[in-house]
């Protein structure tokens, strides 16, 4: 059976302008950080991608090191692009990044022009694409001049290998500097991808203002705090969770009794709103107009379908916001 996208795919998604650019992104975008590697089940992630596109998700976010193993998410995404989405490339915004360790030796990590350009060339080969829409520097490099990393992004855009430049994990001061350099080079920064959730709020200490002042979009990753902002941890740490295995970024010692108490109280507010905790956590980010889109992951299609329901209610009363703040303090 050949995949045919849903005819009404654009009817139920909300789209938001990305900063002051001509690009609009879906309020919810799909990240391929986990669940799309060679260790995962092809049939499952193929279904996730189909459902995403059928639901109006046009933005698919990757990086050179996504997998596992590193590079495999791009390879698998490329395969499905070729087999199922042929003819729909122009309806998609595809992004990738470089900034973390990708190969041995001094040129396989961080932010040199050598590494960033080589990495994108490899990403394009893996996905079998001529260009991607957004290319990000994945994290600031303390040892490479910022000018060099930004010149690499500018070069990549001028070469036509990416249409837009972005930055990720940059603190407010570094972000402002990078945005200024890119503007001077003539390749404005389209978007910033920070870690941001109810439990991780460093971006509120100046970064959101910098992005707003400079007309740059914002797309938070880890909006559910690695699963903490779901109903998974309401009764402690389940055996099959990331925290129990301590294999990922969420460690057992982060799931304290105080944290579980917060999760339960937030869950009560979500239920009063007619939402799951995960849906409310996504809506809470989207209530801020400076947030262009929220990047979610999904390990199965049902999880994605559940997250999309967050868009049914992104309005919060003053009292709800006050109660949430009291819990988060």
Token pair recorded at residue 62: 């990757």
Q: Could you give phi then psi for residue 236, rounded to 5 degrees?
A: 100, -160
pLDDT of 248 over the 70 cut:
no
Please give the full DSSP string across 149-180, using - where no structure is assigned: HHHHHHHHHHTTSEEEEEEES--HHHHHHHHH
Q: pLDDT digit string (tens) for 264-313?
A: 999 999 999 999 999 999 999 999 999 999 999 999 999 999 999 999 99
> How would you class 166 by CB atoms within 10 Å of its CB: exposed for 0-12, middle for 13-18, buried for 19 or more?
buried
Annotation: CATH topology of 15-225+284-317: TIM Barrel (3.20.20)
- Give me the chain's average pLDDT, please: 96
Select from 66, 174, 179, 185 the least CA-distant residue to 127. Answer: 66
In tens, the pLDDT along 153-183 reads: 999 999 999 999 999 999 999 999 999 999 9
pLDDT of the residue at 246 = 62
CA 295 to chain centre: 4
pLDDT tens, 38-87?
999 999 999 999 999 999 999 999 999 999 999 999 999 999 999 999 99
pLDDT at 140: 98
Predicted confidence at residue 43, as pLDDT, reads 98
C-alpha span between 132 and 148 (Å, rounded): 21
What are the extents of the domains in the chain?
A: 15-225+284-317
Q: How far is CA 216 from CA 28, 198, 201, 294, 315, in A?
A: 18, 22, 18, 15, 23
Percent of residues, the chain, with pLDDT higher than 70:
98
């Amino acid at each position: 059976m050949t995949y045919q996208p849903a005819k009404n795919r654009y009817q139920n998604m909300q789209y938001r302008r990305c900063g002051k650019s001509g690009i609009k992104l879906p309020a919810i975008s799909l990240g391929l950080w986990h669940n799309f590697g060679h260790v995962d089940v092809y049939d499952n992630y193929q279904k996730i991608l189909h459902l995403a596109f059928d639901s109006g998700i046009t933005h698919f976010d990757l990086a050179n090191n996504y997998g596992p193993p590193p590079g495999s998410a791009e390879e698998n995404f490329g395969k499905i692009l070729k087999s199922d989405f042929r003819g729909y490339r122009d309806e998609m915004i595809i992004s990738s990044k470089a900034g973390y360790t990708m190969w041995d030796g001094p040129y396989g990590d961080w932010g040199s022009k050598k590494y960033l350009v080589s990495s994108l060339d490899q990403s394009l080969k893996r996905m079998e694409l001529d260009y991607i829409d957004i290319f990000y520097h994945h994290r600031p490099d303390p040892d490479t001049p910022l000018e060099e990393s930004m010149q690499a992004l500018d070069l990549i855009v001028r070469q036509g290998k990416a249409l837009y430049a972005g930055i990720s994990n940059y603190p407010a001061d570094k972000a402002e500097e990078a945005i200024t350099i890119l503007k001077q080079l003539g390749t404005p920064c389209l978007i910033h991808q920070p870690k941001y959730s109810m439990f991780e709020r460093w971006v509120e200490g100046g970064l959101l203002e910098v992005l707003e002042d400079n007309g740059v979009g914002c797309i938070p990753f880890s909006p559910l705090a690695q699963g903490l902002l779901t109903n998974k941890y309401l009764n402690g740490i389940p055996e099959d969770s990331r925290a129990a295995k301590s294999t990922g970024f969420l460690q057992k010692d982060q799931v304290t009794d105080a944290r579980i108490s917060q999760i339960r109280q937030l869950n009560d507010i979500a239920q009063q709103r007619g939402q799951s905790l995960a849906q409310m956590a996504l809506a809470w980010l989207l209530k801020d107009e400076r947030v262009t889109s929220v990047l979610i992951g999904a390990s199965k299609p049902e999880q994605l379908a559940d997250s999309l329901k967050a868009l049914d209610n992104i309005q919060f009363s003053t009292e709800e916001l006050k109660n949430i703040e009291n819990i988060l303090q």
